[in-house]
Chain A
Amino acid sequence: MKCTECSYEAGVSSFRYLYNARIDASMTLRQCPQCQAWLAVDELAGEARQRVTDGDAPWGKSAGIEGLARDVAR
């Protein structure tokens, strides 16, 4: 998986697991071990989708990251 911020690349489990966006979605929050950015991660695809910050689109069901993971979009 590649960090969207600093391009650090490693297996998903190398990115520190923080917590889920919601239990029934494959979207989680993980932290890049290199730049410490919080990332929204699609666990099914094993891909970081975007950085998560305070503000308009951090995470959560009304947070603007719905649809980023395949299972939620369906």
Chain B
Amino acid sequence: MVAEPARDGSVQELENKQEWWWVAEKKRSKRLDYLRKAVWKKGALGGNYAPGIKLDLECATLFTDMWNFWKYDPIMMRRAKAIAHVLDNKTIFITDHAQLVGYFGSLPHTIMWRVDGASMVNEEAYNEPGIMPEPEQESLEKVAKLNDYWAGQTAVDKVARILDPEDAVKFLSGAIGWGAPSSAYGYSGKDYEYLFAGKRGFEDIIEDIEAAIEKAEEKTVGVPGPEILDIYDRLQNWDAMILVLEAAMRHAKRYARLARTMAENFETDDKRKEELLRLARTCEQVPAKSPRNLQESFQYDHFVQMFARVEAHEGAWPARPDYYHGPYYDKDVNIDKTLTKEEALDLVGEFMIRAYEVGGFAPRWAREGLQGITGTWVWTLGGVNKDGTDACNDLTIAFLQAARLVRVSNPTFGFRWHPKVKDEVMRECFECIRHGLGYPSMRNDPLLVQNAMHWHGHPLEEARTWVHQACMSPCPTTKNGVQPMRMASATANCAKMVEYALHNGYDHVVGMQMGPQTGEASSFTDFEQLFQAWTTQMQWLTNLLVRTVNLGRYKDPEFFGRPFLSGISQRSVESGLDVVSPVGDRGNCWITAFTWVENIDSLAAVKKLVFDEKKYTMEQLITALKANWDGYEQMRLDFVNNAPKWGNDDDYVDDIMIRCLQATARHSHVMKCPSGNNWPILPENVSGNIHYASIVGALPNGRRCGDALYDGGISPGPGLDKKGPTAVLASCGKIDHIADGRAFLLNQRLSPTQLAGEKGYQLWKAYIRTWADLGLDHVQFNMVSDETLRAAQKDPEKYSEVIVRVAGYSAHFVDISRKTQDNIIQRTVQGI
């Protein structure tokens, strides 16, 4: 039994006991302590919203009112006017002690509701217990009225109407994948090169747009011809962009006015008064003009993120804050000395807190799949400059230090490791991991830059700007590289590939013929027949998902429209096209491959026990699987314990992994995105392994329907990697991390006891060197002991700040479901 957390001990005592959450509380400033505790956590606990969290009806109502009023406008303009109405009229607030402002909901405890996204989500909002603002009856009536208005005319409704009916039924069955084929949900990359490297404020962008309009209008008064016809639509789009950018600037000025009102009428403390006046000056400067200092730079970035979220439900947060804000840190702290390191750390910590408090209403499947958080805010740190030199700077270090002080589970960091990263930066990364944050994840930068060039043809300099588009997938922040719409609606529940191969394409869980009929597996006489069936099912499943997403992407400018996102993207500013339009987008799609390794372990088990050793017949196996292994326990254990498992450096099974990946990679070059580019797979899971536990049937790897699936990516099954961490790395190193897929998630648990002190750091650093030498692109660590996790299960109140890495994201341990908690405890703790 672990000792009860000793929050009253000295910092040294707490550090010795590795009670990092209490260390953070003692070490951080009073301001950060207040702001961190002030956050209304929007991440669902397991799948349910915390008490006090309420649906934001104000923004949904304002948006709908104006959307309805401008019903005859083209969609971009109509949306721009509706967004402007929200920004001009929604309630805004400034929290005590805050130096950064901006929340997309109206009040700190509200979750934004994307009312125009999908009717089925709106119905869920109506039925979700506990989230209606008081008086509940009145709120329910408002929601019902809004739902009546939007029924049938949301973005997803419109896409669903034009999908092939069979595709629609199978996509919406929930069995083979998830997501929404619309930019109403998902995430968008931001053209940071245009905004930040280009030092543009919104006034500068409007000048760019006006110049483009002027040029276009020369054509519309010129010689008639087909080439000028689409310019009329573009002119409307440009006007919509200007309209929404102007509204965004007015919105920022509302904060400036509020800060001045507070300073001049309410605040009695001189220091706070000065802070409020500085905040007012900040919001008068950005986003209208480009930032002059670190505070303005953070504020600008945060505003951009908030405005994009008023426009669409964004479930990720692609960003590279040390790279784009670093020069301002350097100027303020090192050159002008207008900020001390401590003051800068306060700003960095608050910048993270402002992101942590963001949350929109999500349907239950999304909440179960992303337990404890509201989206995957994986911020990118480190990496290289465009010329290949080390991009780490003092702000990189400040972010890693601030993370240990604020201990938020969102945002987390992905660190772009490369051989030139200095030891002091590596130590900071390690300290975050040692403090149990589960982040940064380590990414192999040279390899991922090559990967981006291989799969999508990004030029070297652009590839070097990459950020995490969501949990894992790299994407450039450049004019033609930036990805405006989530393509992970092509999120595949890959365990279904082997399941369907074994059941002739029939899904016994949902009770319908899903995949093609690839033959009765009981009649298969050799492994090649099974592998061929698997390949056919893989191609069918990925084709269906990609078709759906491609169509959603292609029709999005017609069905949804992104005036704000277009207005901050160079290619739209220049072309007048909705940024979601595939024109000008090089293409950066990937299929998020959930539940991947089950295929490998299952195929290996069948090959070994049925076809090689002939211990069981296919008929016996299919009978046992249909019975969910009930009554076949000894046989099930045989399939688990006497068949080779991925992650043990065993070529028998590792070769099957490579075959499956290569077959999929070949198909990835065949499937094309709307820009004509490739669709590689990216194995990872978030907490989809729990969500799909009751949706995937029994498999030859020994799982029953109901069991959590493996924790994802290319991570071995929990407890099945029995030969130590080097064997895990050796197995993973057999994969070509450039040509076999877009990226590969690897979870590892390490022992906090073993990795204590300087010796621990040196061990970890050597491990990372091996990881890099073997050519892996990703690894992330949990370094919290079983004892602590188990104590947290027993006494969640006392361990409310324990953070774990779930998959591509981190969460507070007490916020995830019991099943997910248990799944994390099952993972092998590797001694290195």
Contacts and interface: CB of A to CB of B under 8 A. Distances in A.
Interface string A12-46: 11000111101110101000000000000001100
Contact of B633 (A18, A24, A43): A43
A55 B825 CA distance: 15
Interface in B625-652: 628, 630-631, 633-634, 637, 640-641
Contacts of A10: none
B704 interface: yes
Nearest to A59: B822
B383 interface: no
Nearest first, the 6 closest Cβ-Cβ pairs linking A and B are A62-B786, A43-B633, A24-B640, A60-B825, A20-B707, A13-B630
A13 B631 CA distance: 9
A19 B637 contact: no
Interface string A33-74: 000000000011000000000111011111100000001000
A14 to B, nearest CB: 10
Contacts of B640: 23-24
A23 B703 CA distance: 7
Nearest to B601: A23
Contacts of B717: 23
Contacts of A22: 718-719, 826
B707 A19 contact: yes
B181 to A, nearest CB: 31
Nearest to B793: A54
Contacts of B826: 22, 60-61
Contacts of A59: 822
B1 A44 contact: no
* Residue among B630, B707, B794 facing the most chain A CB atoms (10 A cut-off): B707
B47 to A, nearest CB: 16
B637 A71 contact: yes
B708 interface: yes
Contacts of B702: 23-24
Contacts of B641: 24
A56 B794 contact: yes
A12 B719 contact: no
B747 to A, nearest CB: 16
Given A28-B704, A60-B826, 19 more contacts: A17-B705, A19-B706, A19-B819, A20-B703, A23-B703, A24-B637, A24-B702, A24-B719, A26-B637, A44-B633, A44-B637, A55-B794, A56-B1, A58-B793, A60-B790, A60-B822, A61-B786, A61-B825, A71-B637
Contact of A19 (B631, B693, B786, B825): B693
A20 B718 CA distance: 12
A6 to B, nearest CB: 22
7 contacts: A17-B705, A20-B703, A23-B719, A44-B634, A62-B786, A63-B790, A71-B637
Contact of A17 (B628, B708, B718): B628
* Residue among A12, A19, A63 facing the most chain B CB atoms (10 A cut-off): A19
Interface string B772-803: 00000000000000110010011000000000
Interface residues of A, number: 23
Interface in B698-715: 701-708
B793 A23 contact: no
A18 B822 CA distance: 12
Contacts of A71: 637
A61 B828 CA distance: 10
B623 to A, nearest CB: 15
B426 to A, nearest CB: 31
A46 B490 CA distance: 41
* Residue among A22, A54, A58, A59 facing the most chain B CB atoms (10 A cut-off): A22
B792 to A, nearest CB: 11
B633 A26 contact: yes
A71 B706 CA distance: 21
A22 B717 CA distance: 10
A54 B707 contact: no
Contacts of B425: none
Contacts of B704: 17, 19-20, 28
Contacts of A17: 628, 630, 704-706
A44 B630 CA distance: 10
A10 to B, nearest CB: 13
A28 B793 CA distance: 19
Contacts of B787: 62
B50 interface: no
A71 to B, nearest CB: 6
B720 interface: yes
B719 to A, nearest CB: 5
* Residue among B701, B705, B787, B825 facing the most chain A CB atoms (10 A cut-off): B825
Nearest to B629: A43
B9 to A, nearest CB: 24
Contacts of B705: 17
A55 B826 CA distance: 17
Nearest to B790: A62
A56 B719 CA distance: 21
Nearest to B722: A24
Contacts of B822: 19, 59-60
Interface in B44-69: none
Nearest to A44: B633
A19 B494 CA distance: 20
Contact of A62 (B628, B631, B825): B825
* Residue among A13, A18, A23, A60 facing the most chain B CB atoms (10 A cut-off): A23
Contacts of A58: 793
A23 B720 contact: yes
Interface string B793-832: 1100000000000000000000000010010011000000
* Residue among B630, B701, B718, B822 facing the most chain A CB atoms (10 A cut-off): B822
A63 B793 CA distance: 11
A20 B705 CA distance: 10
Nearest to A12: B630
Given A24-B641, A60-B822, A19 B794 contact: no
A13 B626 CA distance: 13
A55 to B, nearest CB: 5
Contacts of B719: 22-24, 61
Interface string B27-50: 000000000000000000000000
A16 to B, nearest CB: 9
A54 B693 contact: no
Given A54-B794, A60-B826, A61-B826, A23 B718 contact: yes
Contacts of A13: 630-631
B201 to A, nearest CB: 53
A28 B720 CA distance: 17
A17 B629 CA distance: 11
Contacts of A54: 793-794
Contacts of A62: 786-787, 790, 825
* Residue among A13, A17, A54 facing the most chain B CB atoms (10 A cut-off): A17
